[in-house]
Chain A
Amino acid sequence: MQRNILRPATAGVAILVTIALVAFNIDRIGQEAIGQMPDATVARDLSDLLLHYAFLPRLAVSLLAGASLGLAGVLFQQVLQNPLAAPDTLAVSSGAQLALVIGVLMTPVFKAEHPVFLAMAGAFVAWGLIALLGTRRRSSTLTLILAGFIASFALGAVASLLVLLNQEYMTSLLIWGAGSLVQTDWEGVWTLGICLLPAIAIVAVLGRSLLIIGLGDQAAGNLGVSLRFAKPLLLALAVLLSASVVAVVGVIGFVGLAAPHLARVLGANAFKSRLIASPLAGAAIFTLVDQVLQAAPMEEVNALPTGAVTALIGAPVLILLLRQLPVVVLEGVEPAPLTARAPDRRLGSVFAVLAALLFATLAVALLVGRGPDGFYFGTAFDTGSIDWRLPRVVGSAAAGLALGVAGCLVQRLFANPMASPEILGIGGGVAVGLVVVLLISAQAGASLQFGGALAGAAVVTALVVILGGHRGFSPERLLLIGIAITALLNATTLLFLALGDPRIGQVLAWLSGSTYRVTPGLAFSVLGVALAVMACAMPLSRWLEILPFGPEVATSMGLPVAFARLVVVALTAMATAAAALIIGPMSFVGLLAPHLAAQTGLRRAWAQLCGAAVVGSALVVFADWIGRVIFAPTELPAGLLAVLIGASIVALASLPTPLRSRME
């Protein structure tokens, strides 16, 4: 009983606080105007100006953007029947962002009159990508989220690559990308309103279909609701809403995901009330955070991008709410793709080919360079090139090895071939550790940076282990924690970047996975860690084969499931952290390498581990070499290139498959 009163009361208090803050901020504008302009009439004019062209549009934008995200979130979650679906987890936001970044960079040649259309195009392309990956694997809920996670980072990687290559636009792009709400006119309000109001009308008309969609396709068909029409329309609405928000205020993490859950926690249990409460909750959270930021006495705080701060606050809230949320059941077990080849393929020959591939890549990376006169071959011992190349090559190989092994481990832990070590959020922990060290000390040396990165990884690993242990490390829970931690860490890094710190370049270069500054010591210690993790994982290959059977069967076969999961999580964390020190937090080599290894016919856990290690090494070394020579003397970071190479391989591999499966 008490709870029932408490929860709406919480919402009421939040709304009252927001209103009070709005009043306070309006008053403050007047005070400041008087402070700046001694003449009373001029001061009144100035404060009117500020109120009408800055404060009120900003207030309206925060309300509308929050509501749009809340509505988009609840639509995605209901139509896809997936509690983790949201504009940001489905990569729709990053698609829109990438399109806008491309638009900004092309401005002199081709100027977009209405960026919102550009954002929508990007969002729909991203959504198409996810849908393609999803249908290919018959859209289990877990797979869709994993695919979204990958796509959003791949698109984000392209966007940051573009930003890196166009440094003159960097600061403004970053601030906008982090979700700044500063307005100078009413245009943003109009854009959001024009998208949101018709969307509300359509949802109101289709409200009943939406409710029935929640019962599943079969039931909806029996009740005469045409899903062919309603589902794509509602999804398109959600994508449009997300794109309009990105076009006006940038990528806002978290509001879309959290608003429907917040509505539920506050008592909106029935779907109808949740449909109404989610946009309201989104608007309320977003406006509250924005007003708090504006009310803060420090100017530095006033300038913080609201989007990043919202994610920063929202992520811990989601983690705290984890226990209150209904148990998220994702259809986790996913059949691995069947290898096309006969199972009795000679392992020896596969390994020989893979090893030859690795050695060839290593040789090319060490021996082939590009100078002013084009490509040249040779060790160039006399010029000392080998001393420059060796640490990078060893480091890349070690990182690739670690990621290949980690990917194998995590895919077997999640029983899903779309899982990737990045989803545990450990790379993000490394990023924040580094950023914090740079913030604290202006002249942090390599060893201090290394220490910070390790500490970040350790903290995140501990968080994952402590929070995940509550339900015996169930994949659903680990995934949720990983998403929350990653959002938190991304927000922290974005904030740091948006503050315009001169060390932006250094951090960005590291985040995008550049190997320029790898020392021999770092390279060989990462190699050591990677080999140690592999040495620990190999004898556990029976665990790795039984774990994917699911906890029930694994328990009845005598496997200590929670302990085995803990060991696998710990090994994955170590390998991921070590790799992140060299090629940054996001590369998705860990996704790709086990996949490619399986494609060559390595099915057993031990064989796949070895294969993934070799393929991962070769992939990162190759990406590093390409980045070194393709635009020489300008270098592209290996991590970004690995994402691009990997994403194109995945895209190529997935294209013909829907056709093939339809024919069967």
Chain B
Amino acid sequence: MNGAEKLQTGFALSGAGLVLGGRCIVSPLDLDLRSNRIYGLIGPNGSGKSSLLRMMTRQVAPSSGHIRYRGEVLQGWTSRAFAREVAYLPQQLPAGQQLTVGELVALGRYPWHGPFRRLSADDRDSVAEAISITGLGELESRLVDTLSGGERQRAWVAMMVAQAGRFLILDEPTSALDIGHQAQLLEVLHEVTAARGLGIVMAFHDINIAASFCDEVLAMRDGVLVAMGAPAEIVTDDVLSALYGVPMRTMPHPETQRPIGFIR
């Protein structure tokens, strides 16, 4: 029953791999990801994190195996139906094109109303909810391009929340932010999962931030999923050293006792 339910609520990758130009970017891997959980994807540069996320969001088709979402292969979903379930934000934020925060978040409702239909009451409610969860109420009528980096990230997250019912997939959303804004963004994402039961799959640059934030950490190296488990299982001397190829050690956080990795 547990397995069947997993299939119904999230992603199931079976033998999904990606080969581009004769080079193996992601080795075939099997993976189940459920909603209502936060997954952190870590690994060195070029380890295939972004490519995995791009496969899961239908940006590229896997060259082997297949990916199912809620029991249906990704190709079987229509683009708008899939967009109502899963939202994706690339590493590089698009320019805001002179939209206000409110207008940007409202565009997130596109998969629900399509190109022609007018905004319904439902749409308006979701937009208002997304804005309030992300704490953007005061910025609603500001132009996105005039916001600070952290606020811009939050505006895009709000757009994703308004768009997708089940999964948010983000590619290193914190890499351009200072530590305060990182913490703020992660806080917002935590609230989103709590309020809406969303699943989040996120690539991280910083192993310790991933460990402190995620329910489960996936470690990739050279396109291979080398380890997966709760942060305490991944943040160990052996796994980290093997992952990054430099000797690494861990120590407990003075307050939370969570393990912290560092270079020896």
Is B45 engaged at the interface, CB distance under 8 Å to the other chain?
Answer: no
Is A557 engaged at the interface, CB distance under 8 Å to the other chain?
Answer: yes
Q: Mark B106-148, 1 if CB is under 8 A from A, else 0.
A: 0110110001100000000000000000000000011101100
**Residue of A344, A412, A546, A548 touching B110 (CB-CB under 8 A):** A546
Tell me the complex Cα distance, A558–B103, Å.
Answer: 17
Count class of interface residues, chain B: 35 or more
Is B98 engaged at the interface, CB distance under 8 Å to the other chain?
Answer: yes
Asked whether A553 and B89 contact (CB < 8 A) given A539-B116, A558-B83, the answer is yes
Tell me the complex Cα distance, A549–B152, Å.
Answer: 14
**Residue of B98, B110, B142 touching A559 (CB-CB under 8 A):** B110
In the complex, what residues of A have CB within 8 A of residue B83's CB? 556-558
Q: Are A336's CB and B95's CB within 8 A?
A: yes
CB distance from B131 to the nearest CB of A (A): 16
In the complex, what residues of A have CB within 8 A of residue B150's CB? none
Is A335 engaged at the interface, CB distance under 8 Å to the other chain?
Answer: yes
Is A542 engaged at the interface, CB distance under 8 Å to the other chain?
Answer: yes
Q: Are A415's CB and B59's CB within 8 A?
A: no
Most buried by B among A334, A336, A558, A603: A558
**Residue of A343, A415, A539, A542 touching B107 (CB-CB under 8 A):** A542
Q: Are B145's CB and A556's CB within 8 A?
A: no
Most buried by A among B87, B96, B99: B99
Q: Are B141's CB and A344's CB within 8 A?
A: yes
In the complex, what residues of B have CB within 8 A of residue A338's CB? 98, 143, 145-146
Is A560 engaged at the interface, CB distance under 8 Å to the other chain?
Answer: yes
In the complex, what residues of B have CB within 8 A of residue A549's CB? 94, 97
Is B57 engaged at the interface, CB distance under 8 Å to the other chain?
Answer: yes
Asked whether A598 and B107 contact (CB < 8 A) given A335-B145, A539-B115, A556-B59, the answer is no
Q: Are B143's CB and A559's CB within 8 A?
A: no
Is A635 engaged at the interface, CB distance under 8 Å to the other chain?
Answer: no
Asked whether A333 and B95 contact (CB < 8 A) given A338-B146, A546-B107, A556-B57, the answer is yes
Q: Are B90's CB and A553's CB within 8 A?
A: yes
Q: Are B88's CB and A556's CB within 8 A?
A: yes
Asked whether A555 and B79 contact (CB < 8 A) given A338-B145, A343-B141, A545-B107, the answer is yes
Tell me the complex Cα distance, A415–B103, Å.
Answer: 18
Tell me the complex Cα distance, A603–B146, Å.
Answer: 14
Is B6 engaged at the interface, CB distance under 8 Å to the other chain?
Answer: no
Q: Are B143's CB and A557's CB within 8 A?
A: no
In the complex, what residues of B have CB within 8 A of residue A125's CB? none
Q: Are A555's CB and B58's CB within 8 A?
A: yes
Is B262 engaged at the interface, CB distance under 8 Å to the other chain?
Answer: no
CB distance from A126 to the nearest CB of B (A): 29
In the complex, what residues of A have CB within 8 A of residue B94's CB? 333, 415, 548-550, 553
Q: Are A335's CB and B115's CB within 8 A?
A: no
Q: Are B98's CB and A336's CB within 8 A?
A: yes
Is B80 engaged at the interface, CB distance under 8 Å to the other chain?
Answer: yes
Tell me the complex Cα distance, A540–B86, Å.
Answer: 23
Is B213 engaged at the interface, CB distance under 8 Å to the other chain?
Answer: no
Is A254 engaged at the interface, CB distance under 8 Å to the other chain?
Answer: no
In the complex, what residues of B have CB within 8 A of residue A548's CB? 94-95, 97
Is B154 engaged at the interface, CB distance under 8 Å to the other chain?
Answer: no
Is B36 engaged at the interface, CB distance under 8 Å to the other chain?
Answer: no
Q: Mark A551-571, 1 if CB is under 8 A from B, else 0.
A: 011011111100000000000
Tell me the complex Cα distance, A550–B86, Å.
Answer: 17
Q: Are A334's CB and B95's CB within 8 A?
A: yes
Beta-carbon nearest neighbor of B95 in chain A: A335
CB distance from B208 to the nearest CB of A (A): 28
Q: Which of B141-197 contact A (CB under 8 A)?
A: 141-143, 145-146, 163
Q: Are B95's CB and A552's CB within 8 A?
A: no
Q: Are B98's CB and A339's CB within 8 A?
A: yes
In the complex, what residues of A have CB within 8 A of residue B145's CB? 335-336, 338
Is A516 engaged at the interface, CB distance under 8 Å to the other chain?
Answer: no
Most buried by A among B59, B79, B87, B100: B79
In the complex, what residues of A have CB within 8 A of residue B81's CB? 558
Beta-carbon nearest neighbor of A337 in chain B: B98
CB distance from A606 to the nearest CB of B (A): 12
CB distance from B158 to the nearest CB of A (A): 14
Q: Are B89's CB and A558's CB within 8 A?
A: no
Tell me the complex Cα distance, A603–B98, Å.
Answer: 6
Q: Are A557's CB and B107's CB within 8 A?
A: yes
Q: Mark A343-358, 1 if CB is under 8 A from B, else 0.
A: 1100000000000000
Q: Are A557's CB and B146's CB within 8 A?
A: no
In the complex, what residues of B have CB within 8 A of residue A550's CB? 90, 94
In the complex, what residues of A have CB within 8 A of residue B115's CB? 539-540, 542-543
Is A604 engaged at the interface, CB distance under 8 Å to the other chain?
Answer: yes
In the complex, what residues of B have CB within 8 A of residue A546's CB? 107, 110
Is B84 engaged at the interface, CB distance under 8 Å to the other chain?
Answer: yes
Q: Are A343's CB and B163's CB within 8 A?
A: no
Asked whether A558 and B143 contact (CB < 8 A) given A548-B94, A553-B89, the answer is no
Q: Are B110's CB and A557's CB within 8 A?
A: yes
Tell me the complex Cα distance, A540–B110, Å.
Answer: 12
In the complex, what residues of B have CB within 8 A of residue A412's CB? 97
Q: List 22 A-B contacts (CB under 8 A).
A: A338-B98, A339-B98, A343-B141, A542-B115, A545-B97, A548-B97, A549-B97, A550-B90, A552-B88, A553-B88, A555-B57, A555-B59, A556-B57, A556-B86, A557-B107, A557-B108, A557-B111, A558-B83, A558-B111, A559-B110, A598-B98, A604-B103
* Chain A interface (Cβ < 8 Å from any Cβ of B): 333-336, 338-339, 343-344, 412, 415, 539-540, 542-543, 545-546, 548-550, 552-553, 555-560, 598, 603-604
Q: Give me the 8 closest cross-chain CB pairs, A-B, nearest first.
A: A558-B83, A558-B111, A556-B88, A558-B80, A549-B94, A603-B98, A335-B95, A548-B97
* Chain B interface (Cβ < 8 Å from any Cβ of A): 54, 57-59, 79-84, 86-90, 94-100, 103, 107-108, 110-111, 115-116, 141-143, 145-146, 163
